Amino acid sequence: MSATEVDFYSLLEVSRDADGDTIKRAYRKLAMKYHPDRNPGDDECEARFKAISVAYDCLKDPQKRAAYDRYGHEAFTSGMAGGGGGPGGGADFGDLGDIFETIFGSAFGGGGGRARPRRGADLRYDMEIGLEEAFHGKNAEIEVEVATACDTCSGSGAAPGTSKRGCNTCNGHGKVRAQQGLFVIERPCPVCHGHGEVLEQPCSDCRGEGRVDQLQRLDIEIPPGVDNGTRIRLGGKGEAGPMGAPPGDLYIFIHVRPHTVFEREGTALFTRMPISFTTAALGGCVEIPGLDGETHSIDIPAGIQSGRQLRKRGAGMPVLQGRGRGDLVVEVAVETPTKLSARQKEILREFKETETGDECPESRGFFDRLKDAFSG
């Protein structure tokens, strides 16, 4: 259906015998749904909002509606309405072609003619890497089966030595029309599918499609600092478009395998480090190998408790496409010995005999609170 012949009642989703209140409610519902403020940046919604506004402007006015019901859109052409838009100088219906072309595409628009070349599809490839590879980055080669431009016909779809010619069915316009009651229905040509051209002889290798499936090897550069869900775009490496249309893109989605020692959160690396109770009591220094190949010294303060976190600045993951690194965070877990020699037990008994309660203030405070609670 051409743009200026789109039925206003269908556009507002009401029947032709709907009363004024029904039309108003339908308009308000659709206007709220497609209002540009509720759909920022959506050209299709903006165009549809304009179209339903034009339709409502006509149907809410009894005189305009009567003229529309009798003559259709021709009631508002210059030949019947005196060139001033609708009866009474109301809405301007001259830009409906642009509006409906935005909503329904060129097959329903007032101009444009042939269909535009359809861009090739985008492709997705999932790649799994280790945390070390995510830290350092890597170069990898992948294999993707993708529709590429046919070498025999150079993507045109035509057999070598032949070309395209204008479609006889639509006379090269890409569209055909048919009368249906009071309206003229306009559809893409079923022979040339809206292109306006047909092949004299299709290419035997691609059967006129202009593309064939091939296994493609690609070199991928994984930058340092990638994380789960990082997406790498390779422009023009997706499927080739049909009959020489531009190709789509290839998107590489990164998945990082869990590590046996470190857990990652953004650019920070976390690990749980058990230490002996003597190291916890006396303090010391522990060395941890990092993903960067360096050994990082962690100072243990005397009297540290389980669950305390120690931070090594700049020893975490690299910032993706930036400078610097995150931190290495070590959570301390004080381990109670389970196998003691006779001499070690003797030493611990001697230590116990010298305890005053001030060595472990948290334990002493807990039992003091218990005593106070129950003695009261």
Residue 91, pLDDT > 60, answer no
Does 203 belong to an annotated binding site? yes
Q: CA nearest 19: which of 51, 59, 53, 57?
A: 59
Mean pLDDT of the chain: 82
pLDDT of residue 88: 41
Do 42 and 87 belong to one domain?
yes
Does some domain include residue 48?
yes
Does some domain include residue 310?
yes
Do 157 and 246 belong to one domain?
yes
Q: Which is more confidently placed, 266 or 116?
A: 266
Does 45 belong to an annotated binding site? no
pLDDT of residue 321: 86
pLDDT band at 111 (very low <50, low <70, confident <90, very high): very low
What range does the domain containing 214 cover?
123-163+200-256
Residue 90, pLDDT > 70, answer no
Measured distance CA(340)–CA(320) in Å, rounded: 48
Return the beta strands (E) in the chain as ranges.
123-129, 138-149, 164-166, 175-180, 183-188, 197-199, 211-222, 231-234, 250-256, 263-265, 268-276, 284-289, 295-300, 309-312, 328-335
Does some domain include residue 188?
no
Number of domains in the chain: 3
Contact in structure between 2 and 108 (CB atoms under 8 Å): yes
Measured distance CA(14)–CA(57) in Å, rounded: 15
Measured distance CA(84)–CA(223) in Å, rounded: 63
How much is the average pLDDT of 341-357?
Answer: 90
Burial class of residue 339 (count of CB atoms within 10 Å of its CB; 0-12, 13-18, 19+): exposed
Cβ neighbours of 324 (radius 10 Å): 10
How much is the average pLDDT of 209-230?
Answer: 91
How much is the average pLDDT of 330-348?
Answer: 93
Residue 85, pLDDT > 90, answer no
Return the beta strands (E) in 150-210 as ranges.
164-166, 175-180, 183-188, 197-199
pLDDT band at 75 (very low <50, low <70, confident <90, very high): low
Does 285 belong to an annotated binding site? no
Does some domain include residue 349?
no
Measured distance CA(48)–CA(55) in Å, rounded: 11
Q: Which is more confidently placed, 38 or 218?
A: 218
Residue 82, pLDDT > 70, answer no
How much is the average pLDDT of 5-29?
Answer: 87
Does 192 belong to an annotated binding site? yes
Contact in structure between 72 and 2 (CB atoms under 8 Å): no
Contact in structure between 157 and 203 (CB atoms under 8 Å): yes
Listed range (21-35, 78-92, 179-193) with the worst mean pLDDT = 78-92
Residue 280, pLDDT > 90, answer yes
What pTM was estimated for this model as a whole?
Answer: 0.58
Listed range (128-132, 207-211, 263-267, 310-314) with the worst mean pLDDT = 207-211
The CATH number covering residue 311 comes to: 2.60.260.20
Q: Which is more confidently placed, 97 or 58?
A: 58
Measured distance CA(50)–CA(192) in Å, rounded: 32
Chain position carrying tokens 């980055």: 137
DSSP string over 33-101: HH-TTTSTT-HHHHHHHHHHHHHHHHHTSHHHHHHHHHHGGGGGSHHHHTTSSSTTS----TTHHHHHH
Does some domain include residue 32?
yes
Q: Which is more confidently placed, 49 or 129?
A: 129
Do 49 and 153 belong to one domain?
no
Does 58 belong to an annotated binding site? no
Residue 361, pLDDT > 80, answer no
pLDDT band at 245 (very low <50, low <70, confident <90, very high): confident
Q: Name the domain boundary from 225, 241, 256.
A: 256
- How much of the chain exceeds pLDDT 90, in percent? 37
Check the CA dihedral 25-27-29-32 and report its sign: negative
Do 133 and 242 belong to one domain?
yes
pLDDT band at 183 (very low <50, low <70, confident <90, very high): low
The CATH number covering residue 84 comes to: 1.10.287.110
Measured distance CA(113)–CA(96) in Å, rounded: 16
pLDDT band at 80 (very low <50, low <70, confident <90, very high): very low
pLDDT of residue 180: 63
Residue 45, pLDDT > 90, answer no
How much is the average pLDDT of 72-95?
Answer: 48
pLDDT per residue as tens digits for the range 186-206: 788 888 877 888 888 888 888
Does some domain include residue 364?
no
Q: What is the phi/psi pair of residue 282, to 5°?
A: -95, -20
Give the pair of three-digit tokens for residue 122: 């985008």
Does some domain include residue 328?
yes
Residue 84, pLDDT > 60, answer no
Do 233 and 332 belong to one domain?
no
Does 153 belong to an annotated binding site? yes
Do 44 and 86 belong to one domain?
yes
pLDDT of residue 40: 79
Do 155 and 89 belong to one domain?
no
Contact in structure between 248 and 121 (CB atoms under 8 Å): yes
